[in-house]
Amino acid sequence: MDRPLLSIKDLTVDFITPDASMRAVDNMSFDVPMGKTVGIVGESGSGKSVTSLAIMRLLPQPPAHISGQILFDGTDLLKLPDDQMRKIRGDKIAMIFQEPMTSLNPVFKTGAQVAETLMLHRGMDKKTAWEKAIDLFNEVGIPNPSQKVHAYPHEMSGGQKQRVMIAMAIACDPKLLICDEPTTALDVTIQKQVLELLKGLQEKHKMSMLFITHDLGVIADVADDVVVMYRSKMVEKDKTRAIFESSKHPYTKGLIACRPDMGANPKRLLTVSDFMDEAGNGLKVTRDRVQVFEKDYEAKNGNDILLEVKDIHTHFPIKGGLFGRKVGEVKAVDGVSFQLKRGKTLGLVGESGCGKTTLGRTILRLVEPTSGSIIYDGKDVTKMGQEEMRLLRRKMQIIFQDPYSSLNPRMTVGEILTEPLVVHGLGGGKKERLDAAKALMEKVGMKANQLNRYPHEFSGGQRQRICIARALMLRPEFVICDESVSALDVSIQAQVLNLLLDLQQEFKLTYIFISHDLGVVNFISDEVGVMNKGVLVEMDRADRIYKQPREEYTKQLLGAIPKGLPKNIEAFIS
């Protein structure tokens, strides 16, 4: 085979500031062959995005110090003068970013932004550039391209914006397309379309692709070769199939194993720490760690109904006009009914904007319902007065999605954890309250002596544990987890899911688990409800929903999940 299109040799990137220096990429070497796709997987902070920015020479120097070689078509990009690099950027190497919402300039028409690239690199006049832009819109599958080129970014959906980004990227027939988490911000069904589009374009234009993602499922769908990064280092590179079937590095094994999938349900998820200790040494995984979990669907203990939601509607007014008159309404939740048994977990899945979060907040009356009733333990929550509601808050809690914004940055962890007790006048004096907080810190896998720290001193996973501890301080019976693991890396996600299951057993909790991730919901839930446009499309036992979906929408949703390659549990046991 002829020489690779892109060849990276001993790439090292350091960030050096007066305060600290940090090695973001440590001695990376890999090739991207002509017409192939190489995927880089790794968790946040592993250095994968820095690698792509280094290739584009988009890292500000200083603070970045780059060494090594980046050979593109035989020339070392690191040695090129700036003006020549600018010609390569966008022309021979193009890039697609994660956030389609912010990568397009909101004040220009989308067509103009594509045409600009063409005028800049191809020297086209305005008229031909616009005509070419219409062709490109057509190629990336935007409906009505001749009209849509005149649309502004805010007039397009997220998926369409990402298509515009792709049109812009392929405008000059690049030889290499770098995709940095291009589908992470999109819903699964849209993700599937975008991935198919990218694959199609790659074959048609004979491009090479460098595909960066944290999602192993996506990688398995698109990449020929995979590079695995962990803490700035490349730990493994191989053919995609080989990575999934016989990975050698314990971190890769852990990464593959900790991903909940649609197949057999393990009792607990394996985590990276089952495969590797802190120092990076491989550990043995024994058979009892991978037991298949038979869910106890027809539970003998506690078959009583804890929560019953009857025909709940939550509508938000749309205000407009001079005096903020109501001009319409958004029907976020539009007639949902279900029952939830004590000690069980109901998973709510759906795409963004389907109303699942609003439903969760309505049940807790953080948002007032427009109509309908919520019967909790025999009493109608919607008819409760302020005092009665305050008392009920002891029993119902919520864990939010974003571990960064859900903790008050000005309070210590101790203050955060004891606050629920202070509000309700429970738990005795200050010392007793702190003792209770300490005990719970240990329960969620944190250290008891960390109570005088502030939230910013913890990592995302640790903060989410603190959020869980806060929710449990009042000893609730019912907890809503609203996308509680979505912002976490997969290996941390697995640990938190395991923790939630342990706590459910210990404290006899009933969960509503809201997520867009069908794999996670399948793992944790007894029953699953699929939501779309404010209504509950289908609700059934988890295994039935996944194996025999009845509704068209559920089938569509399940079909869109990147399957990855089936994991071979046996390969993990040593």
Partner 1 sequence: MSAQDTKSLWADAFSRLVRDRWALISLVIVIIYAGIAVLATVGWGLPDWKTSQASEYLPPSSQFWLGTDLFGRDVFAKVIHGTKIAMSVGLVTSLIAIPIGVFIGAIAGYFGGWIDDIISWFITTFSSIPNIMLLISITLIMGKGLVSVYLALGITGWVGLARLIRGEVMKHKEREYVHAASAIGGGHFRKLFIHILPNVTHLVIINTSLQFQTAIKSEVILSYLGLGVQGEPSWGTMIDDARQELARGVWWQLAGATFAMFLVVLAFNLLGDALRDSLDPKLKGK
| Residues in contact with partner 1 by the rule CB under 8 A | 361, 364, 366, 389-390, 393-394, 396-398, 400-402, 405-412, 419-420, 423-424, 449-450, 452-454, 456-457, 467, 470-471, 473-474
Q: Which is nearer to partner 1, 405 or 574 (CB)?
A: 405
Own/partner pairs for 281-284, CB < 8 Å, 24+ apart? 281/250, 282/250, 283/250, 284/574
Closest by CA to 416, choosing from 473, 484, 332, 478, is: 473
Q: Which is nearer to partner 1, 307 or 545 (CB)?
A: 307
Closest by CA to 231, choosing from 251, 203, 250, 216, is: 251
Instruction: Reply yes or no: is the peptide bond before residue 33 cis, omega within 30 of 0.
Output: no
Q: Which is nearer to partner 1, 291 or 452 (CB)?
A: 452
For residue 480, give the 3-state DSSP assignment: strand
The CA-CA-CA angle for residues 271, 97, 147, to 5°, reads 135
Q: Which is nearer to partner 1, 318 or 573 (CB)?
A: 318
Q: Which is nearer to partner 1, 243 or 398 (CB)?
A: 398
Q: Which is nearer to partner 1, 106 or 324 (CB)?
A: 324
Q: How far is the CB of 399 from partner 1 (least distance, A)?
A: 9
Q: In what order do the strands lie in the sheet with 37-41?
A: 75-76, 64-72, 6-16, 21-32, 233-239, 225-230, 37-41, 208-213, 176-180, 93-96
Q: Is 324 left (phi over 0), alpha (psi -120 to 50) or beta?
A: left
For residue 430, give the 3-state DSSP assignment: helix
DSSP-derived pairing of the beta strands 233-239 and 225-230 = antiparallel
Q: How far is the CB of 495 from partner 1 (least distance, A)?
A: 21
248 HSE (CA, 13 A, CB side): 8
Report the distance separating Cα 166 and Cα 446, nearest Å: 44
Q: How far is the CB of 327 from partner 1 (least distance, A)?
A: 17
Q: How far is the CB of 18 from partner 1 (least distance, A)?
A: 9
Q: How far is the CB of 458 from partner 1 (least distance, A)?
A: 11
Q: Which is nearer to partner 1, 264 or 391 (CB)?
A: 391
Q: How far is the CB of 76 from partner 1 (least distance, A)?
A: 31
The CA-CA-CA angle for residues 132, 133, 136, to 5°, reads 90
The dihedral of CA 320, 104, 161, 144: what is its sign? positive
Q: How far is the CB of 504 from partner 1 (least distance, A)?
A: 19
Q: Which is nearer to partner 1, 98 or 401 (CB)?
A: 401
**DSSP, residue by residue, 282-337:** B----GGGG-B----SS-SS--SEEEEEEEEEEEEEEEETTTTEEEEEEEEEEEEE
C-beta separation of 350 from 532 below 8 A? yes
Q: How far is the CB of 491 from partner 1 (least distance, A)?
A: 22
Q: How far is the CB of 21 from partner 1 (least distance, A)?
A: 14
Q: Which is nearer to partner 1, 84 or 452 (CB)?
A: 452
Q: How far is the CB of 400 from partner 1 (least distance, A)?
A: 4
Q: How many helices (H) and strands (E) does the chain have?
A: 22, 20
C-beta separation of 134 from 111 below 8 A? yes
Which helix H or strand E contains 145, and what residues bound it? Answer: helix 145-148
Report the distance separating Cα 194 and Cα 202, nearest Å: 12
Report the distance separating Cα 166 and Cα 502, nearest Å: 44
Tokens read off for 208: 């090479």
Q: Which is nearer to partner 1, 190 or 471 (CB)?
A: 471
Q: How far is the CB of 160 from partner 1 (least distance, A)?
A: 27
Q: Which is nearer to partner 1, 243 or 363 (CB)?
A: 363
Q: How far is the CB of 492 from partner 1 (least distance, A)?
A: 18
For residue 340, give the 3-state DSSP assignment: strand
